[in-house]
Amino acid sequence: MRGRRSIVTLLAALGLAAAGVAGAQAVDGGAPAGSAASAAAPAAAAAPAPSVAAGRRAYTSYCVRCHGINLVVGSSAFYDLRSFPATDKARFLHSVNKGVRAMPAWEGIVKPDELESIWLYIGSVNGWPPDA
């Protein structure tokens, strides 16, 4: 009798323990999901990594109508981007952001990460080495 009762007690205790573990898991399972969602939010809001593909898209949206998809158009009034120096990224960023004579300023329209991507795209069309 004594032995049976202790088994029942033991089973009951195990049941409670299991319920406790399950409850703890539910709580634990909920917390990381919530924190993962809030941790993912800033990551999603952060700028995507610059890429040639993104640069091609941005270039096609903003630049192609004056500079042509192959970086050159028939008119010499539009700077031939094939001749832009690979080593002068600072000038590129400044010229595009602030504008140069007939070229409008793009600051506030083309996002910084898009401009980085456009730089990569121009480099890829021109065959610049990756670390030029």
From the number of C-beta atoms within 10 Å of its C-beta (0-12, 13-18, 19+), residue 63 rates as: buried
Q: Whole-number minimum distance, CB 108 to ligand HEC, in Å?
A: 12
Q: Map tokens 């910084």 to a residue.
A: 112
Binding site for ligand HEC (CB under 6 A): 62-63, 65-67, 77-79, 81, 84, 91-92, 95-96, 100-104, 106, 110, 118
Q: Whole-number minimum distance, CB 47 to ligand HEC, in Å?
A: 16
Of the pair 19, 100, the CB lying nearest ligand HEC is at 100
Phi and psi based region of residue 68 (left: phi greater than 0; alpha: psi -120 to 50; beta: remaining): left
Of the pair 118, 120, the CB lying nearest ligand HEC is at 118
> Which two structure tokens, joined as six digits, stand for 97?
């952001």
